[in-house]
Amino acid sequence: MSRPTQPSTVLLDHDGPVTLLKLNRPEKLNAFNFSIVEQAISGVAEAEDRGSRILVISGEGRTFSAGFDLSDLGQSSDGDLMLRLVRIEILLQAILATPMTTLAFVHGKCFGAAADLFCMCDHRIAAPDSTFRFPGLRFGAVLGTRRLACLIGPDNARKVLESSMVIDLEKANSFGMVHSSIPRDQWPDVVNRQAEAACVLSHIAQKSMLKNTRIKSDDGDMVELVRSVSIPGLVERIVDFSRDGRSL
């Protein structure tokens, strides 16, 4: 297996038809700062350019990701946060549009933008300790809302989004958010099986299959996000919701 090509906030490792993309800010619970989002966008593009058939997304350390990073909130303007959220939407759309099969493994916390990313993937695997949360609407950010409703149904989406509840694995399974609960030591076997399956079809057939079986995304999702976060006072709203100043 080749060495990681991006030894920073995102690690990329290419192995035959597989590209492994690992979030790598364990000291910050892999919270989504500008760097991690930009490197993830670049990583998806790099995997596509090399002709990978499957993209595997996971997180380093004790949790997948605590979500949107708020550690520098005091130095951020509304415009700074708006740009970061727009770039997260670009990443989500890249995951939905990629011609590669996407496989996400989560453990521990999978909150906010990270939970939106997880839900965009074709195959969604969670360790037994996984929990999920979608708090964005509590501070007015409409990120992934329609796509979540398409995935788990409008009624379930309303329950999750209105309350911003923490969702345990049992509830996530009942919603259809998670495909399988598999311990972390068995994840490599899952990757091998999915890689074999992804290579059964030709590149053209795989691309067509993925395009026509995924949740649809268009500029309307971006419009809803920009409209919501362009309302003045975004920083203040996030501060009011999360006084710990770390992540959502």
What's the pLDDT tens digit per position in 180-200? Answer: 999 999 999 999 999 999 899
The pLDDT of residue 73: 84
The continuous run of DSSP H or E covering 207 comes out as: helix 203-213
5: pLDDT strictly greater than 50: no
| Confidence band of 218 (pLDDT split at 50, 70, 90) | confident
Q: How much is the pLDDT for 248?
A: 63
The helix/strand/coil state of 212 is helix
Average pLDDT over residues 113-128: 97
The matching CATH number, chosen from 3.40.50.300, 3.90.226.10, 3.40.640.10, 3.30.70.240, for 10-184+197-241 is: 3.90.226.10
C-alpha distance from residue 161 to each of 72, 74, 114, 236 (Å): 25, 26, 15, 20
Q: CA-CA distance, 107 to 131, in Å (whole number)?
A: 8
pTM: 0.93
> Do 172 and 148 touch, CB atoms closer than 8 A?
no
- Residue 146's alpha-carbon distances to 88, 167, 231, in angstroms, are 15, 19, 20
Average pLDDT, the chain: 93
- Stretch (H or E) spanning 106: strand 101-106
CA–CA separation, 175 vs 156, rounded Å?
7
Single-letter amino acid, residue 146: R
When pLDDT is cut at 50, 70 and 90, the band that residue 242 belongs to is confident
- Domains of the chain: which residue ranges? 10-184+197-241
pLDDT digits (tens, 9 = 90+) for 100-110: 999 999 999 99
H helix or E strand, kind and range, residue 40: helix 34-49
At 219 the pLDDT is: 87
DSSP H/E element including 103: strand 101-106
**DSSP character string of 140-190:** T---SHHHHHHHH-HHHHHHHHHHTPPEEHHHHHHHTS-SEE--GGGHHHH
* Residues 6, 11: Cα–Cα separation, whole Å: 5
Token pair recorded at residue 165: 């509840």
Residue-wise pLDDT tens digits, 128-137 = 999 999 999 9
